[in-house]
Amino acid sequence: MKLRTIPFSRIKRGQRVFLRIDANVPLKHGRIVKHGTWRLEQSAQTIHALSKRGAIIVLCAHLGRPEGRRVKELSMAPIARWFARNAKVRTVLAPGIVGSSVEKYIEKAQPGDVVVLENVRFDLREKKNDALFAKQLAGLADIYINDAFGVAHRKHASLHAITRYLPSYAGPLVQKEVKLFSEKRRLPFALVVGGLKLETKVAVLERLAPEASTILTAGGVSLVLQAATDRRPLLVAGKEIDSAELKLARRIMTKFGDKIHLPIDYVVRDQQRSVVRWTDEVGPNMNVVDTGPRTSEMYAGLLHGAKTIIWNGTFGAIEQRYAQAGTIAMARAIGTEKQAKRLLGGGDTVAFLQKYKLDKNFTHISTGGGAMLVFLGGGKMPALDVLKK
């Protein structure tokens, strides 16, 4: 995929740049979670580079799902503060998204300043890809740069419709992600798939499985595949697997079962007695929360010698301490394969691995979990399609 780009050397001092980023980081009580800043760290490089050129940056992003309501806990205020401290730029938070009060803030801005718009999803017109709203956004700037790969699969006003009204380009982070995930993968290629729902991983499995040498599964994904193979009921997140997911699982196993590996032991939680224990036999009414040590050892051996590793999705319910070992073991195993290109995606996984300083085990960490899956699965990327050369 070839995208329109603009060298920052062509950006003139005082030129207003509408910069769309993905700042959807984990928050707790309106504050950025300590180990959840990876997306902001990537965007800070672009912001710093534009500021250095003397651009006036109109920064646009979203937080959470306010559904058109102004939610105090989802304000962009902590994002503005973070960039002021870490991107070393003068930053101000605008009082809204569009309108005369916002325009006054931008008029007062000096070259190098960053004006952060309020959460763009406070306005319902964003998700509707509303043309009038997009035109209002475009009126705040001279050019548009999309550096938000994490939401490139969304057809929203600040990502799609806005490009009708401004000269529009892909930013450096978007360029990097597209290039990495478009490259021919060196073999042997190992695909590691975890997470809760199989349905979100079907497209990437069907697209990448033919070239993958091995596919390692965990989490709810592996339990559904296991249930389809054994034809016996299992629980995922304490719930029975529905027939639609079982049908998907049987299709996947029929086509690629010779490459797919399932866990051989598990950590389970007895909900009635609140007991956590290890087992190598999973049956009905068992609430599986993680993979076990034998699986970790087996998967590490299967990864050995891979030249490309792509991982998306945690191995267990990592919000609980007793369900973290599988994910940690996989990150460490991947980190030992120094000869491999090691790519990771998925917000929850990344934030968790940052906490344990295991993010350094990867060649590249994608800012998009869902977007990465859609792109790799050959799905539609509306925000990129409008930037094609």
Among 134, 150, 178, the domain boundary falls at 178
User: Considering the domain boundaries, does residue 199 fall inside one?
Assistant: yes
Go through 293-304 and write b for each residue having 16 or more CB atoms within 10 A of its CB, e for each that does not: eebbebbbebbe
Considering the domain architecture, whether residues 145 and 118 belong to the same structural domain is answered as yes
pLDDT at residue 74 in the model:
94
Considering the domain architecture, whether residues 265 and 172 belong to the same structural domain is answered as no
Among 178, 197, 231, the domain boundary falls at 178
CA distance 288 to 291: 8
Question: Are the CB atoms for 120 and 60 separated by under 8 Å?
Answer: yes
Considering the domain architecture, whether residues 160 and 26 belong to the same structural domain is answered as yes
Structure tokens belonging to residue 324 = 């973290």
Considering the domain architecture, whether residues 48 and 99 belong to the same structural domain is answered as yes
End-to-end Cα, the chain, rounded Å: 9
Mean pLDDT computed over 37-43: 90
Tell me which residue range forms the domain holding 370.
Answer: 183-376
Considering the domain architecture, whether residues 208 and 118 belong to the same structural domain is answered as no
Question: What is the separation of C-alpha 163 from the centre of its chain, rounded to a whole number of angstroms?
Answer: 23
Considering the domain architecture, whether residues 208 and 350 belong to the same structural domain is answered as yes
CA distance 191 to 208: 8
Residue 242 has pLDDT above 90, yes or no: no
User: Considering the domain boundaries, does residue 73 fall inside one?
Assistant: yes
Residue 272 has pLDDT above 80, yes or no: no
Residue 85 has pLDDT above 60, yes or no: yes
Grade residue 273 by pLDDT with cuts at 50, 70 and 90. low
Structure tokens belonging to residue 87 = 């991107």
Considering the domain architecture, whether residues 166 and 220 belong to the same structural domain is answered as no
Question: Are the CB atoms for 17 and 50 separated by under 8 Å?
Answer: yes
Mean pLDDT computed over 324-350: 92
Q: What is the CATH number of the domain that holds 85?
A: 3.40.50.1260
Considering the domain architecture, whether residues 279 and 306 belong to the same structural domain is answered as yes
Amino acid at 157: A
pLDDT at residue 28 in the model:
84
Question: Are the CB atoms for 12 and 324 separated by under 8 Å?
Answer: no
User: Considering the domain boundaries, does residue 384 fall inside one?
Assistant: no
- Which spans in the chain are helix H? 38-52, 77-86, 100-108, 131-138, 172-182, 202-208, 219-230, 243-256, 293-303, 325-335, 347-355, 370-376, 382-385
DSSP reduced 3-state for 180: helix
Alpha-carbon separation of residue 21 from 18, 103, 169 (angstroms)? 10, 20, 13
As to burial, measured by CB atoms within 10 angstroms (0-12 exposed, 13-18 middle, 19+ buried), residue 264 is: middle
Structure tokens belonging to residue 4 = 């329109």
Residue 75 has pLDDT above 60, yes or no: yes
Considering the domain architecture, whether residues 154 and 193 belong to the same structural domain is answered as no
Among 178, 196, 231, the domain boundary falls at 178
DSSP reduced 3-state for 155: coil
pLDDT tens-digit readout, 24-39: 988 888 788 877 888 9
Grade residue 241 by pLDDT with cuts at 50, 70 and 90. confident
Integer Rg of the chain from CA: 22
Give the percent of the chain with pLDDT over 70: 96
CA distance 106 to 115: 7
User: Considering the domain boundaries, does residue 52 fall inside one?
Assistant: yes
β-bridge partners, 291: 266
Considering the domain architecture, whether residues 236 and 349 belong to the same structural domain is answered as yes
Considering the domain architecture, whether residues 13 and 80 belong to the same structural domain is answered as yes
Is this structure's pTM higher than 0.85?
yes
pLDDT tens-digit readout, 130-183: 999 999 999 999 999 999 999 999 999 999 999 999 999 999 999 999 999 999
DSSP reduced 3-state for 261: strand
Considering the domain architecture, whether residues 187 and 329 belong to the same structural domain is answered as yes
User: Considering the domain boundaries, does residue 371 fall inside one?
Assistant: yes
Amino acid at 98: V
Give the percent of the chain with pLDDT over 90: 75
User: Considering the domain boundaries, does residue 385 fall inside one?
Assistant: no
Q: For the chain, how many structural domains are there in total?
A: 2
Mean pLDDT of the chain: 92
Question: Are the CB atoms for 289 and 244 separated by under 8 Å?
Answer: no
Lowest mean pLDDT among 35-49, 230-244, 313-327: 230-244
pLDDT at residue 70 in the model:
95
Grade residue 230 by pLDDT with cuts at 50, 70 and 90. confident
User: Considering the domain boundaries, does residue 254 fall inside one?
Assistant: yes
pLDDT at residue 274 in the model:
64
Grade residue 351 by pLDDT with cuts at 50, 70 and 90. confident
Question: Are the CB atoms for 117 and 58 separated by under 8 Å?
Answer: yes
pLDDT at residue 269 in the model:
80
User: Considering the domain boundaries, does residue 383 fall inside one?
Assistant: no
